[in-house]
Amino acid sequence: ASSRASSATARAEAAEKRAKALEDRVNAAERKASSSREAEVAAEKRAEAANEAEATAATKCASLEADLDALRGQAERGQAALMGELDELRAARERAESDAGAVSGTLDNLRKELEAANQRARQAELAASAADARAAVAAESR
């Protein structure tokens, strides 16, 4: 009886060990499943964030396209206005050239006066430059 009891005890201990090993494996499987669920939730959150970012980008792109269309319209209107101004300026230039031909004698006199004024300005610049040089020499000699 003692031998059977000893054998039964050994079997019971072996069964407990197997049960403990099975429990450990079940616990490990549960931890792995929990980790997988956490990874799945994290992946879903990342996917949601990516979808939101994509929607935001699409909205911003549409807004930028609308802004670009508006700017193109403004540029076209501006270009048309500038072309109108250019035509007006060309007409004004033609009138001015016509008027200049009528008063060419006056222009010749004005050119001569301008040349004389330029000459006087050059002489004044030279005189000022010479005065600056004299002042610098005088300052150095002190």
For residue 100, give every residue at least 6 positions away whose Cβ sits within 8 Å of its Cβ, in sequence order, or none: 107
Cβ pair 70, 64 in contact under 8 A: no
Q: How far apart are CA 121 and CA 126, in angstroms?
A: 9
| pLDDT-derived band at 139, boundaries 50, 70, 90 | confident
Whether pTM > 0.85 for this model: the answer is no
Cβ pair 125, 118 in contact under 8 A: no
- By percentage, how much of the chain surpasses pLDDT 90? 73
**How does pLDDT run across 116-131, given as a tens digit for each residue?**
999 999 999 999 999 9
How many Cα neighbours within 13 Å face the side chain of 62?
A: 5
pLDDT at res. 118 = 95
**How does pLDDT run across 88-121, given as a tens digit for each residue?**
999 999 999 888 777 787 878 888 999 999 999 9
